[in-house]
């Protein structure tokens, strides 16, 4: 596992490379840390969550986009992982209706897809991860630390 540099673009040329970056990120985020994932449909956010979950020892088949509930929980790994997908969030206020507060206080890593849908409600102490589509098989990822 490698330490990831912050504020530096990483080019992932495959799904596997994105999962590897996620494993590296798992080595650097605290077990109660939070990361907000931004970027377009198909950007690789869910793929990244799957890679991180695998690195934590969770059964990767469990990792899918939370649809109805907007939140999936993955247990059985080294630390619980809470996977939010706010794509269908109707308003930022609805974020708390999801019971988000409760998750924020629990031990576990929180990963939030489409965090921009609840922008200023997302805790300030976090990582931001920005995904961009470069071409069919390539994605650019930039990691940054907020409020250190």
Does residue 83 interact with ligand ATP by CB under 6 A? no
Contact criterion met (CB below 8 Å) for 73 and 82? yes
Nearest C-alpha neighbor of 111 from the set 41, 31, 57 = 31
Q: Interface with Mg ion by CB under 5 A: which residues?
A: 45-46, 65, 113
Q: Which residues contact 96 (CB under 8 A, 6 or more apart)?
A: 121
Does residue 18 interact with ligand ATP by CB under 6 A? yes
| Angle value at C-alpha 143, between 12 and 15, nearest 5 degrees | 25
By a kind-dependent CB cut-off of 5 to 8 A, residue 44 interacts, out of ligand ATP, Mg ion, none, with ligand ATP
Cβ proximity to ligand ATP, 29 vs 49, nearer residue = 49
Chain positions contacting ligand ATP, by CB under 6 A = 12-15, 17-18, 39, 41-47, 65, 87, 113, 137-139
């Amino acid at each position: 596992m490698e330490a990831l540099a912050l504020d530096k673009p990483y080019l992932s040329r495959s799904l596997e490379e994105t999962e590897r970056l996620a494993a590296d990120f798992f080595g650097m985020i605290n077990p109660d840390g939070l990361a907000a994932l931004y970027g377009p449909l198909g950007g690789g956010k869910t793929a990244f969550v799957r890679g991180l979950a695998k690195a934590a020892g969770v059964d990767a088949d469990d990792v899918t986009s939370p649809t109805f509930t907007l939140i999936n929980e993955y247990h059985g790994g080294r630390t619980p992982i809470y996977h939010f997908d706010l794509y269908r969030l109707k308003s930022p206020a609805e974020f708390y209706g999801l019971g988000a507060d409760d998750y924020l206080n629990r031990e576990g890593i929180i990963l939030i897809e489409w965090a921009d849908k609840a922008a200023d409600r997302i805790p300030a102490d976090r990582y931001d991860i920005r995904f961009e589509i470069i071409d069919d098989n390539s994605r650019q990822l930039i990691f940054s630390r907020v409020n250190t």
